[in-house]
Structure 1
């Protein structure tokens, strides 16, 4: 049986503290890209009781995604926005979800991200990473941005770090490895980087970053 909303909130407050959970529950976080980084970020934030997640991706679940992304084999072929929403509703039924099955770009970013307090960049493609960073930092200076660079291979987990580059811009990863290197993207290391991004969100909301 699914707990009531009040029971759910009480359990989160017991874990995080009432005031801290109030900040989490009132926050809106956008996750741009729902692959290895984004799907794991979304799951971590939903479990933490973030009030609303804006999920943005144009792609479908593929067999090659399953080793590092939060999807199920039976969801192959489905839109990632739909599949991840379904999974998140099972995990955290009281987190509000807004989905956009589109490719985010310079023209539509402002409209898609207008409600977000914090934006998580979670793309594989370097060009789109740069586009989102430039767009948010230049045109949306009031928003926090948490981006990622370098999480591939089997390098040390301790090389994955979070750096605060400006007052509202954080970068997570080892800043060196590339998906084209060696064996590419490995589940545990991608999840580590996603956890850094999700943790940065919570630290910002708790005013501890």
Structure 2
């Protein structure tokens, strides 16, 4: 924590001045997992860190690649680092007093329930459809008491207003346009990916504060 110009209390008071004491207390007590730290997950985590979410669980098995820099919250000098380590480094620059747990591993049907048992809110932020389906299925079947916020459809540069949040089940929400997959010339681009990530982070915030 070298060269930090503010104190933990100053950061807390700054958040309270924007959010009020009662709301910030609920945000600070929340436990949120972000499974997948790519374009969605890294942007979700940054938003939650800036909100002052007190306990963040960051999960990914991958390393930062130069192809990630077009939409993910990493820097050129972090290429080659595990994403868990790089994102932890970046989030602690936003708020050095965050409680961060990191797991550098691949989430599977066998380990997901144990991995996520201490988290109240789970953000699905994988790139691969099969991984997305696996996590959704596992959480709904094995962790029905958890809140799950997943994503589908955010590629290209189409109308940003088509990105939306839909309640699928009592504790399951889906963000995105639910149709746009990556294709040649319409890949995953920063603006729409960030819009979808913002929807996911905002839905988590609404759930923390008792809205749905």
TM-score by length of 2: 0.96
Tell me, in whole angstroms, the C-alpha distance in 2 between the residues paired with 1:78 and 1:93. 20
Q: What is residue 59 of structure 1 aligned with on the other side?
A: 62
Query: CA RMSD for the aligned pairs?
Result: 0.9
Confirm or deny: 8 A CA contact 1:153 1:181 kept in the other structure: no
Deviations 1:123-163 (A, max 9, x none): 01000000000000111010000000000011100000001
Q: What is residue 131 of structure 1 aligned with on the other side?
A: 134
Confirm or deny: 8 A CA contact 1:28 1:51 kept in the other structure: yes
**Aligned residue-pair number:** 209
Aligned: 1:70 with 2:70: no
Q: Which runs of 4+ in 1 moved over 6 A?
A: none
Q: How does 1:170-185 map to 2 (within 5 A)?
A: 170-180=173-183, 182-185=185-188
| Displacement of 1:112 | 1.1
Aligned: 1:46 with 2:57: no
Q: How does 1:19-168 map to 2 (within 5 A)?
A: 19-168=22-171
Q: Structure 1: which 5+ runs fail to align?
A: none
Q: Structure 2: which 5+ runs fail to align?
A: none
TM-score by length of 1: 0.98
Tell me, in whole angstroms, the C-alpha distance in 2 between the residues paired with 1:18 and 1:164. 29
Tell me, in whole angstroms, the C-alpha distance in 2 between the residues paired with 1:122 and 1:192. 13
Tell me, in whole angstroms, the C-alpha distance in 2 between the residues paired with 1:182 and 1:135. 34
| Displacement of 1:106 | 0.9
Deviations 1:96-133 (A, max 9, x none): 11000000011111121011010000001000000000
Distance 1:113 1:177, change over 3 A: same
Most deviating of 88-97 and 25-34 = 88-97
For 1:162, what is the secondary structure of its paired residue? strand
Tell me, in whole angstroms, the C-alpha distance in 1 between the residues paired with 2:183 and 2:149. 23
Confirm or deny: 8 A CA contact 1:32 1:123 kept in the other structure: yes
Deviations 1:167-200 (A, max 9, x none): 1100000000002354210100000000000000
Q: What is residue 197 of structure 1 aligned with on the other side?
A: 200
Deviations 1:13-54 (A, max 9, x none): 111111111110001100000000000000000000001110
